[in-house]
Amino acid sequence: MPKPPEQPTTSITCTINGQSVTMDIDPAWRLLDLLRDHLGLTGAKEGCGEGECGACTVRIDGLPANSCLVLAVQAHGRDIDTVESLDPESLDHLHGSGATQCGACTPGVVMTADWIRNNPETLEHDTIRSLMAGNLCRCTGYDGIIDGVRLSIERDANTGAKPCAS
Amino acid sequence: MLAGDPALTPIAGGTDLLVHWPGNTDARTRDYLDLSRLRPSQSEIRWDDDAVTLGAMTTYWDVVTDKRFREHFPILIDAARQVGAVQIQTRGTWAGNICNASPVADGVPVLMALGASVELRSAAGAESIPLDRFYTGYRQTRRQPDQLVTSITIPRHQRTTQFFEKVGSRRAQAITKVGVAVTHHNETGWRVVANAMAPVIIRCANVETLLSSISPIRTPDDLLPAIDADMTPITDIRSTAPYRRTVFAQILFHALRQRNLRVSVDAR
For the stretch B187-197, pLDDT in tens is: 999 999 999 99
Would you call A76 an interface residue with chain B, using a CB distance cutoff of 8 Å? yes
CA B243 → CA A25, B167, B201, B224, B227, distances in Å?
47, 11, 18, 13, 13
ipTM for this model: 0.93
Higher per-residue pLDDT: B130 or B8: B130
In chain A, residues under CATH classification 3.10.20.30 are 10-84
Chain B: closest CA distance from residue A98 (Å): 23
All domains in chain B, ordered by first residue = 42-155 (3.30.465.10), 161-258 (3.30.390.50)
Higher per-residue pLDDT: B216 or B2: B216
Q: Which residues of chain A have a CB within 8 Å of the CB of B81?
A: 126, 130
d(CA B56, CA B67): 20
In chain A, residues under CATH classification 1.10.150.120 are 86-159
Which residue numbers in chain A have pLDDT < 50?
A: 5, 165-166
Residue B37: what pLDDT? 85
pLDDT in tens, B181-236: 999 999 999 999 999 999 999 999 999 999 999 999 999 999 999 999 999 999 99
Would you call A126 an interface residue with chain B, using a CB distance cutoff of 8 Å? yes
Q: Give DSSP secondary structure letters for B50-83.
A: SEEEEETT-BHHHHHT-HHHHHH-HHHHHHHHTS
Contact B54, B152 (CB under 8 A): yes
Residue A8: what pLDDT? 59
d(CA A117, CA A90): 9
pLDDT in tens, B126-174: 999 999 999 999 999 999 999 999 999 999 998 989 999 999 999 899 9
Confidence at B40, pLDDT banded by 50, 70, 90 = confident
The pTM score is 0.94
Q: What would be the CATH architecture of the domain defined by A86-159? A: Orthogonal Bundle (1.10)
Q: Which CATH class is domain A10-84?
A: alpha beta
Chain B: closest CA distance from residue A129 (Å): 11
